[in-house]
Amino acid sequence: MNIALVAALVFGIASFALTVFRDIGLTMIFNVDAFLIVIGGTTVGLLVGFPVQRLRSAVQDVAGTFKKQREREDVIKEIIEISRMYRKMNVRSLEDRIRLMDNTFLKLGANLLINNHGAREIKGIMEKELMLKKMNCNFSRNVLKTISRLTPSFGLAGTVISLIKMFRNLESVEAVAPLMAVALMSTFYGVIIANLFMLPLCAKLEEHAIVSESLMTMTIEGMLLIKSGEHPLRIEDRLRGIEEERDPLLEGTGIAQIIPRAAEAIYRFQKI
């Protein structure tokens, strides 16, 4: 669970609610008609624009942003552990280790290694999986952006409908007051849902996707280095951006290159 994200949401909602409810109370801020106009209209718009499975996937992706994301250091350690087992051809131990992994993408790469796929096959399969993940994330962000556009629009629609009804009943003060409440609260709900929830969640999902893509790209390079027979310490240096030399097959994986630390690498090899 991402404690910081949950705490930020709770603090933001609590601060906003305290400001709104302090003088007028909960009953004044909640209007069933306005709520139904905004939520009902948005729901219909989503069902028309997206298949149900896509909406479910978006909910799952948003829920995933509340989980603590993997650290880059932890992924590197797992890759190095796999490389040591693979180098020793300890297939049984590697299979047992794979079953305990919760990193599905790393598990995919390790299984490809065990099944003796070629380097180009490994790269192709894992890059396709990465592209599929990016595509699904883009779809989920599109769902959130659509909600952020629909809710203010239906809020404005609720305002217009209520004003039309109000102008038809100007002779009755008792009829005007409830209609004015619906008109104002419809816009209020639309703006709040879009700006307090949907747009921040969309930004968080995008940030989460960038970090995930970086880790998955690093995982692809790690699997290719293992397949090429590199020493675990060399793999660690490459993943940390220490080594400059690159294999042509690894081009395009996006890992940063800096000046090689040859002396340190030689010293570390001598200690093995």
- Distances from the Cα of 160 to the Cα of 153, 165, 250, angstroms: 11, 9, 58
At residue 252, the 3 state secondary structure works out as coil
Q: What is the pLDDT of residues 38-52, one digit of tens each?
A: 999 999 999 999 999
Report pTM.
0.77
Same structural domain for residues 90 and 143? yes
Indicate the DSSP class of residue 195: I
d(CA 224, CA 239): 11
Dihedral (C-alpha) 165, 167, 169, 174: value to the nearest 10 degrees? 90
User: Is there a single domain that holds both residue 136 and residue 57?
Assistant: yes
Same domain, 169 and 227: yes
Residues 17 and 53 in one domain: no
172 has a pLDDT exceeding 80: no
Which residue segment(s) compose the domain that 106 sits in? 33-272
Helix (H, G, I), strand (E, B) or coil at 48: helix
Question: What domain count does the chain have?
Answer: 2
Q: Are residues 256 and 174 in the same domain?
A: yes
Judge whether 34 and 158 are in contact, CB under 8 Å.
yes
pLDDT digit string (tens) for 102-131?
A: 999 999 999 999 999 999 999 999 999 999
- Residue 22 and residue 116 in one domain: no
User: Do 80 and 190 fall within a single domain?
Assistant: yes
Q: What percent of the chain has pLDDT over 90?
A: 52
Contact in structure between 223 and 253 (CB atoms under 8 Å): no
Residues 6+ apart with CB under 8 A from 77: none
Same domain, 84 and 216: yes
Lookup: tokens for 133: 């993940």
Asked whether residue 23 falls in the same domain as residue 144, the answer is no
At residue 110, what is the residue type?
A
Which stretches within the chain are classed as H helix? 3-24, 26-29, 32-49, 52-64, 72-87, 91-99, 104-114, 119-167, 173-192, 199-227, 232-239, 262-271
User: In this structure, which long-range contacts are made by residues 42-47, counting pairs with CB atoms below 8 Å and at least 24 apart in sequence?
Assistant: 42/147, 42/150, 42/151, 42/154, 42/193, 45/146, 45/150, 45/154, 46/143, 46/146, 46/147, 46/150
Same-domain status, 25 and 107: no
Is 269 or 234 the better-scoring residue by pLDDT?
234
- pLDDT at residue 166, as a whole number: 84
Average pLDDT over residues 207-223: 94
Whether 119 and 82 share a structural domain: yes
